[in-house]
Amino acid sequence: MENEKPMTKSYLADLIYKVNGAAIEVHKTLGPGLLESVYHRCLKKELSLLGINYQSELNIPVNYKGYRLEAELRCDLLIEDILPVELKAVEFIHPVHEAQLITYMKLLNVPKGLLLNFNCTNLYKEGQRTYVNELFRNLPD
């Protein structure tokens, strides 16, 4: 995806800080124990209130041998055309959840991603994980 804003490590850090803040606000208001879809809706509203641009349920195609194929892959949120965010409301984050986000990062050609699990006591300490790939290393500070 093409991004018009300058891509730097500090820009991504600031964006993740804002998204985490929005998610913490949702979690603080609702608490754990609801369906992922409820947190998704509320996080979209919070992002809108903060003026943060996003796409929801973004369909991610797969490039296979030069062919663009629709693969029914849907990223929960793509923030500012650069940060994929996967939402969960599960007891444990499993490797398949991490693999899902890392695959989205690769297919979207972005350096960083965020996994948020709302089924926890403290979202900041337990419920958020940030992932980077090889593209991140080459970004300017």
pLDDT tens, position by position, 12-35: 999 999 999 999 999 999 999 999
Summarised one tens digit per residue, pLDDT across range 34-82 is 999 999 999 999 999 999 999 999 999 999 999 999 998 999 999 999 9
Which residue, among 32, 43, 37, 35, has the nearest Cα to 120 in the 3D structure? Answer: 32
Question: Quick check: 141 pLDDT over 70?
Answer: yes
- Both structure tokens of 99: 């693999």
How many CB atoms neighbour CB 92 within 10 A? 8
Mean pLDDT of 84-108: 96
Residues 37, 137 contacting (CB under 8 angstroms): no
Mean pLDDT confidence for 95-123: 96
pLDDT band at 5 (very low <50, low <70, confident <90, very high): low
CA 9, CA 19: separation in Å to the nearest integer?
15
The pTM of this model reads 0.92
Q: Are 128 and 20 in contact (CB under 8 A)?
A: yes
Chain-centroid distance, C-alpha 10? 17
Determine the residue type at 103.
T
| Residue 105: predicted pLDDT | 97
Q: Count of CB atoms within 10 A of residue 17's CB?
A: 10
User: Which residue in this structure is represented by tokens 């991504």?
Assistant: 12
Report the C-alpha gap between 14 and 16 in whole angstroms: 5
Helices H, strands E: what count in the chain? 4, 5
pLDDT value for 6: 74
pLDDT band at 1 (very low <50, low <70, confident <90, very high): very low
Inform me whether the pLDDT recorded for 2 exceeds 60: no
Q: What are phi and psi of 3, to 5 degrees?
A: -125, 130
Q: Is 73 exposed, middle or buried (0-12, 13-18, 19+ CB in 10 A)?
A: middle
